[in-house]
Amino acid sequence: MSIFNFIFIELILKLPPSGRIRRLFRLRLPLPAPHVKMNPAGRHRTDAAIPSSVQGGARPESAGGPEEKPVKIFDISQEVFGCAVYPGDPAPERIRLQKMSEGALYNLTAFSMCAHNGTHVDAPSHFIENGETVSQIGLDRFVGYAYVASHEGELSSSDAERILGEAASKAALSRIPGCDCCGRILVKGKAVVTEEAAKVFAARRILLFGNESQTVGPESAPMAVHQIMLGSGIVLLEGIRLSEVKDGIYFLNAAPIHLGQADGAPCRAWLIGC
């Protein structure tokens, strides 16, 4: 970074917060070109592949000057204490340890919850003995380009092939450097993944699969689908909320809480439109 960049950032920090944020999104700093690697599981991984709205990359310019588009962040997470709970799992509980309204010097909250409440990720160890735990999974699985596709009802093998084909086609047309959205699939709607569809996703070695249900597969018999997908190294993002999100390519961050050796963990998942 040049001395000019340091001076510019110093000036930015002197702006009020609202103006600072707006100006930072217009900042054009040189960034390394995307470089595609293979992670240990043999899946594609892209370094420095961040939307231009976040990293400061160039936007298309019109005759009147640079086109300024507002950055839209979609929160696709459930609020914890009002979240959906899988049948039989304990629900989140809030415990107020200290209350200023009762004379305490400060407010203090504790809470308890299941690792699979609300919006959460499943690590392979959830259904695979000696499988990867949350703390053993690289964050590149949870962070990167993703493709949102709508579907209602059972998701068959042909549906899975169609969604993956759409993702590949959209990525090719997007002109986004290093777009690997085919590796992270988010399904919008009340979809139930069948074993046949799970085998398609497993064969394609995708990194992550997300859905709005609290489980993939039939709620009454989720084991087989979990074992197929988690057994192939796919991490599952369950309980997301996509009602405000249109189909297409997004930048996803679904990094879970760092729960050592846990089979799952809650996360604050969000998307940025590309």
CATH number of domain containing 237? 3.50.30.50
Cα four-point dihedral sign 212, 215, 221, 225: positive
pLDDT computed for residue 70 by the predictor: 77
11 domain-assigned = no
93 domain-assigned = yes
> How many domains in the chain?
1
Q: What is the mean pLDDT of residues 261-265?
A: 96
pLDDT value at 159 more than 90:
yes
pLDDT computed for residue 6 by the predictor: 45
57 domain-assigned = no
218 domain-assigned = yes
pLDDT computed for residue 36 by the predictor: 39
236 domain-assigned = yes
Residue 270 confidence class, pLDDT cut points 50, 70, 90: very high
Angle at the Cα of 229 from the Cα atoms of 146 and 159, rounded to 5 degrees: 60
Q: Alpha-carbon distance 239 to 254, whole Å?
A: 12
Q: What is the mean pLDDT of residues 230-244?
A: 96
139 domain-assigned = yes
pLDDT computed for residue 24 by the predictor: 44
Task: Choose among 145, 139, 150: nearest CA to 175.
Answer: 145
Average pLDDT of the chain? 84
Q: What share of the chain has pLDDT > 70, as a percent?
A: 75
Q: Alpha-carbon distance 217 to 193, whole Å?
A: 5
Higher local confidence (pLDDT), 27 or 171: 171
pLDDT computed for residue 67 by the predictor: 66
pLDDT digits 0-9 by tens, 188-219: 999 999 999 999 999 999 999 999 999 999 98
Residue 102's domain comprises 74-273
Across the chain, which distance is largest between two alpha carbons, in Å? 62
Q: Say which range, 8-12, 130-134, 191-195, has the weakest mean pLDDT.
A: 8-12
29 domain-assigned = no
Instruction: Characterize the bridge pairing of strands 143-150 and 248-253.
Output: antiparallel
Q: Give strand pairing partners of 251.
A: 145, 272
Q: What is the mean pLDDT of residues 96-119?
A: 97
Residue 65 confidence class, pLDDT cut points 50, 70, 90: low
pLDDT value at 57 more than 60:
no
pLDDT computed for residue 257 by the predictor: 96
Higher local confidence (pLDDT), 22 or 185: 185
pLDDT computed for residue 54 by the predictor: 54
pLDDT value at 37 more than 60:
no
Q: Who contacts 165 (Cβ-Cβ below 8 Å, separation ≥6)?
A: none
Q: Give strand pairing partners of 109.
A: 96
Which amino acid is present at 212? E
20 domain-assigned = no
pLDDT computed for residue 71 by the predictor: 84
Q: Residue 261: is it exposed, middle or buried by C-beta count within 10 angstroms (0-12/13-18/19+)?
A: exposed
Q: What is the 3-state secondary structure (H, E, C) of the chain?
A: CCHHHHHHHHHHHCCCHHHHHHHHCCCCCCCCCCEEEECCCCCEEEECCCCHHHHCCCCCEECCEECCCCCCEEECCCCHHHCCCCCCCCCCEEEEEECHHHCCCCCEEEEECCCCCCCEEECHHHCCCCCCCHHHCCHHHCEEEEEEEECCEEECHHHHHHHHHHHHHHHHHHCCCCCCHHHEEEEECCEEECHHHHHHHHHCCCCEEEECCCCCCCCCCCHHHHHHHHHCCCEEEECCCCCCCCCEEEEEECCECCCCCCCEEEECCEEEEC
